[in-house]
A and B are shown apart, each in its own frame.
Chain A
Amino acid sequence: MSSSPIIGITFGNTTSSIAYVNPKNDVDVIANPDGERSIPSVLSYVGSDEYHGGQALQQLVRNPKNTIINFRDFIGLPFAQADVSKCAYGAPAVEVEGKVGFVISRGEDKQETITVDEVVARHLRRLKLAAEDYIGSKVSEVVITVPTSFTSEQKEALEAAAGKSGLKIVQFINEPSAALLAHAEQFPFEQDVNVVVADFGGTRSDAAVIAVRNGIFTILATKHDTNLGGDNLDNELVEYFAKDFEKKNKSNPRTNARSMAKLRTHASATKNTLSNTTSATISIDSLADGFDYHASINRMRYELVTNKVFSQLAAFIDDVIAKAELDPLDISAVLLCGGVAYSPKLTTNLEFMFPESVQILGPASKQATSQPNELSASGAALQARLASEYDASELAEALSPVVINTPHLPKAIGLVGSQGEFYPVLLAETSYPVQKKLTLKQAKGDLLIGVYEGEHHVEERTVEPTEKEAKEQDDDEEEWSDSEDDEPEIIREKLYTLSTKLMELGVKGVTNGIEVVFNINKDGLLRVSARDLKSGAVVKGEL
């Protein structure tokens, strides 16, 4: 590995993370000098000093006018298109040269106007310094993740800002793909699957349906909601606490911006604690009118308070699946990332909503990382590691549209089974050229290999619940009502039917299994060959 590693940066509205692949080939998420692995994307100015990360976040209470928050989404956008209400709690956004900018007072009577580009550059420089401190060598190249909704202008602006801070962006990768890459590295998918990657950040939510075919990802649909995220949970919680405080002290903290800022900071911390424990306390000295505030809240209460938001989040995932024109049955897993993913309620909500075939890959799952907010940074680091093995020109070639834009199969191609059923080998949305091997160890005798296109549909059957199931659910002390158990259960199944017949191959005298190889070249030529594992005899067909 070269002396200066390429690092991966995830630059979020709320927090940013940096990661790199250390010489031991493990992904290290880099902590800044304050020990924060997810570094708040906040810059604050007090006089001539610049604060960054967690230190800057604390300034949000004392010094909100000079604390810049939630600036990521503004980069490269004209002022008119930017949703400046996002930084209502921090330094107000103003129009500077048609772009978003901030007016910061630095010391007595000194005003500094900085554009969002400059803010981003300063932020990235801080991240770069943190990475250099940690790794101990110069860092000059990064792989950076961006939301799928980022336009090329925004990418260009980001690249320019990164250039100002001395970082060369080797590659932009989409946040959901980065997260999925990091996940797949740790928990490889054994089969081709469709995955929903849901990233619930602080201020916005993004979800993408990604088809994983032979390790290659294809985004089928994306959905963004810039008004849904962890901050909504905070808001609900703040409102709850404010009400409680008002009731207890007869003083309204909502009228005082500083009180609200304090409450918001503490509520957010309490929320985070509640992800891990079933109850948490909040205690704020002198919240409003000199009254202190102490309260404890249990998880149940919290979940009730924020139920609305959680159902929005769940519905958001459902929407993106619908947008991809898929059925929940087509989805094998939902990968949760971002800070909100820590909430156990989100996982339980989703588990309840989706059929059992859908795995919910949240921090509680054994099949997923326990650090969902570090996924995309890890993915970026992994990609950076891969990229470091290639020349710049090679990488540029690999990223050219000729390579990236590949044909995808609209329908599954597979074999017909002994009962006349369809067995998909290459699923729909498989990009080609592709090759897939299928080894049938038990195959014996004379066999017919019928290659068909398959069409799938969802069948619904209604089954009366058996007694055993009912009993089981009685034992569970879950919150849903018993009345549900008595309703007939609807079983939905995904079935394939044979569609167009493509070819038939006959193999004779197989004794020890066969290997069937499906190969589609870049022109869409399908080649199926069956090889007798014992004799090595090959039967081939081309279409």
Chain B
Amino acid sequence: MFTLPELKSDITVNVISDAKKSEAIRRPVEPVGKHFLHHAQRTLRNHTWSEFEKIQAEQNVKRVDESNTDPDEALFDDELADESLLEHDPRDWKTADLYAAMGLSKLRYRATENQIIKAHRKQVLKHHPDKKSASGAGLEQDGFFKIIQKAFETLTDNNKRAQYDSCDFNADVEPPKKGTEYDFFEAWGPVFAAEARFSKKKPVPTLGDLNTPKKEVEQFYSFWHRFDSWRTFEFLDEDVPDDSSNRDQKRYTERKNKAARDKKKTADNARLVKLVERAVNEDPRIKLFKEEEKKEKERKKWEREAGARAEAEAATKAAAEAKAKAEAEATASAAAKVDKKKAKEAAKAAKKKNKRIVRNAAKEAEYFGEADKAAAIEEQTGFIVDSLDDEQLVAVAEKIKADPQAAKQVLKDASQTLVDAKKLPASVLSYYL
């Protein structure tokens, strides 16, 4: 055995820092084996030794855990769930909690056949009368063992187990109390999960959560509204007496049992209906869906009325437009009237002026050198002026204005026109013709 030398001088740490270590040689290592892969892990992930050891240790623990424990074992009860079972009268085994007796109080209806067999073996090893007598108790104190055997017998027979499971009220989950505060899904999920065990139809939809789509929620409730249960209450039947004793008594008991069974079944169905009803009422999703529906309806209504609304809008718009138009027209017409009046007045004034021009034309031209006939000229000019229409008057006036000396000729032409037009008789205009 190697021993260390004794410490002679007072050294704690003395590093010869200038000591020359021999140069390292680089060589490839063989990439095989777990040690190499560990080395690779350390190198690639930059783990320190202590980190690496920790990781390894954790992995080892996990591996040991995985390999050593039977996953079923963890689901069994470590200790008897109900100590009073030990004192339970084996003759009243029907009233005992058989799953608890088997150490399956956590699994109950979920326990597989294999688990039941395993659990039974475990319980027998613990509670066999031979074991008990070894620890002092008398052999006759085997009540609990008898219950275990009865439980095993019941739970390994499919029919009997179904009957027992039907009446295993310990597995029922009570719905939350009304008027208390609770999370809907947390409280109701287990309730439905427990009720689902009686479903003839599998799989049973789950309650889901707040984000479950509407379709699934509806499916869920329609499933539960139409729930088909295999639950029977035969297990609670009163024992039918041997038919040798009294046939009537036997028949009576049978009838009574059947009636009781039916009654219980009806009650159970009613209970379930009520339960589902309550859940529907409390379901926040249903409320949400209703609200959504309402909103949707409103939106639809809004959309449906869109046409009428547009029409009305168009009508008011048209009315307003019409009104505006009318107003505009009114003002325009008023302005036009004024204009017309002005124009008329102007035209009148122009006419007057023209008339004066024409009337005075003869006078201006000094009656064309025939002053003696002045009265006749004036009279006849007056006839012309009065007989000429507006246009002719303007034309004549223009001509006269343009050349006052030619006035006689102009008036002559005008009178000729008038006579031709038969506006004036030629006799009246004797001077000009």
Contacts and interface: CB of A to CB of B under 8 A. Distances in A.
Do A and B share a complex? Answer: yes
Given A386-B33, A433-B43, A500-B21, A418 B13 contact: no
Given A415-B4, A539-B13, A390 B27 contact: no
B121 to A, nearest CB: 25
Contacts of A178: 32
Contacts of B12: 505-506, 539
Contact of A184 (B20, B33, B42): B33
B7 A447 contact: yes
Contact of A418 (B4, B21, B36, B41): B4
Contacts of B28: 218-219, 401, 404-406
A503 B12 CA distance: 11
A433 B41 CA distance: 12
A47 to B, nearest CB: 43
Of the candidates A403, A508, A522, the one having the most CB atoms from chain B within 10 angstroms of its own CB is A403
Contacts of B11: 448, 504-506
Contacts of A136: none
A398 B15 contact: no
Nearest to B34: A386
Contact of A431 (B13, B20, B27): B27
Contacts of B20: 500
Given A500-B19, A503-B13, A446 B25 contact: no
A418 B35 contact: no
A420 B8 CA distance: 13
Nearest to B53: A435
A524 interface: yes
Nearest to A415: B4
Contacts of A401: 28
B49 interface: yes
B33 A505 contact: no
A398 B36 CA distance: 9
A77 interface: no
Interface string B150-164: 000000000000000
Given A217-B33, A398-B40, A417-B4, A407 B24 contact: yes
A402 B19 contact: no
Contacts of A500: 19-22
B2 A416 contact: no
A409 interface: yes
Interface in B35-79: 35-37, 39-44, 49
Contacts of B4: 415, 417-418, 440, 443, 447-449, 514
Given A379-B32, A417-B2, A502 B49 contact: no
Query: Dominant SS at the A interface?
Result: strand
B203 interface: no
Contacts of B36: 215-217, 398
Contacts of A514: 4
Contacts of A450: 5
Given A418-B3, A443-B3, A448-B8, A502 B37 contact: no
Given A216-B35, A418-B6, A539-B12, A410 B23 contact: yes
Nearest to A389: B37
B6 A526 contact: no
Q: Sort chain A's interface into a size bin.
A: 35 or more
A408 B24 contact: yes
A181 B36 CA distance: 11
Nearest to A407: B24
B310 interface: no
A215 B26 contact: no
A382 B1 CA distance: 36
Contacts of A417: 2-5
Contacts of A494: none
A408 B27 contact: yes
B387 to A, nearest CB: 122
A381 B15 CA distance: 46
A514 B43 CA distance: 29
A98 interface: no
Given A398-B40, A442-B1, A543-B15, A502 B21 contact: yes
Contacts of B212: none
Nearest to A220: B27
B10 interface: yes
A503 B24 CA distance: 18
A260 interface: no
B29 A503 contact: no
Nearest to B44: A397
A14 interface: no
A540 interface: yes
Nearest to A176: B30
Nearest to A452: B19
B17 interface: yes
B15 A503 contact: yes
Nearest 7 pairs of A and B residues by beta carbon: A215-B35, A398-B40, A407-B24, A506-B11, A446-B7, A217-B30, A177-B30
11 contacts: A217-B30, A220-B27, A398-B36, A399-B40, A410-B24, A432-B24, A433-B39, A443-B4, A447-B4, A508-B7, A514-B4
Interface of A: 171, 173-174, 177-178, 181, 184, 210, 214-220, 379, 382-383, 386, 390, 394, 397-399, 401-411, 415-418, 420, 423, 429, 431-433, 435, 440, 442-443, 445-450, 453, 500-508, 514, 519, 522, 524, 526, 539-543
Given A178-B32, A404-B31, 12 more contacts: A215-B35, A216-B35, A217-B36, A383-B33, A404-B28, A415-B2, A440-B2, A500-B19, A500-B21, A501-B19, A504-B11, A504-B14
Interface of B: 1-17, 19-37, 39-44, 49
